[in-house]
Amino acid sequence: MARILVVDDEQDLRHSVAEVLRDASHEVVECGTADEGIDRIMAETYDVVITDLRMPGRPGTEMLRAAAARMPDCILIVMTAYGSLETAIDALRIGAHDYLPKPIDLQTLVRKIDVLLRHQATLAENRFLRGALEIDVPETGLVGTSTAMADLHRLIAKVAPTDSTVLIHGETGTGKELAARAIHQISPRREKPFVAINCGSIPETLLESELFGHVRGAFTGADRDKRGLFEVAGEGTIFLDEIGEMPLSVQPKILRALENREILRVGSTNPLRISARIIAATHRDLPKMISEGAFRQDLYYRLNVFELEIPPLRARPEDIRPLAAHCLERLCRMFNRTPVTLSPEALRALEQYRWPGNARELANILERALILAESSRINLADLPGIVKPTDLSSEDDLKSARRAFERAHILGVIAKYGGEKRRAAEALGIDLSSLYRKLDDSNAE
pLDDT digits (tens, 9 = 90+) for 257-273: 999 999 999 888 899 99
Question: Chain-centre distance of CA 91, in angstroms?
Answer: 36
pLDDT score recorded for residue 70: 80
Judge contact between 29 and 43, C-beta under 8 A: no
Higher pLDDT, 224 or 421: 224
Report strand pairing: 194-198 vs 237-241.
parallel
Nearest to 5 by CA among 53, 45, 61: 45
pLDDT score recorded for residue 148: 85
pLDDT score recorded for residue 278: 96
Task: Write the single-letter amino acid at 94.
Answer: I
pLDDT score recorded for residue 300: 95
Q: How many CB atoms lie within 10 A of CB 105?
A: 12
25 φψ region: left (φ > 0), alpha (ψ -120 to 50), beta (else): left
Judge contact between 61 and 53, C-beta under 8 A: yes
pLDDT tens, position by position, 68-81:
888 877 889 888 77
pTM above 0.75, yes or no: no
Higher pLDDT, 59 or 255: 255
The residue count of the chain comes to 445
What's the mean pLDDT in 220-237?
A: 89
Task: Write the single-letter amino acid at 329.
Answer: E
pLDDT tens, position by position, 187-208:
999 899 999 999 988 888 789 9
pLDDT tens, position by position, 14-64:
999 999 999 988 899 999 998 898 888 887 888 899 988 888 888 888 888
Nearest to 125 by CA among 96, 164, 169: 164
Rounded to the nearest integer, the mean pLDDT of the chain is 84
Q: What is the distance between the alpha carbons of residues 421 and 405, in angstroms, rounded to a whole number?
A: 18
pLDDT score recorded for residue 116: 83
What's the mean pLDDT in 356-374?
A: 91
pLDDT score recorded for residue 290: 96
Higher pLDDT, 129 or 90: 90
> Does residue 139 carry a pLDDT above 80?
no
pLDDT score recorded for residue 235: 93
pLDDT score recorded for residue 282: 96
- Which residue ranges form the domains of the chain, and what is each CATH number? 3-124 (3.40.50.2300), 135-311 (3.40.50.300), 312-389 (1.10.8.60), 391-445 (1.10.10.60)
Q: What is the distance between the alpha carbons of residues 160 and 133, in angstroms, rounded to a whole number?
A: 13
pLDDT band, residue 83 (cuts 50/70/90): low
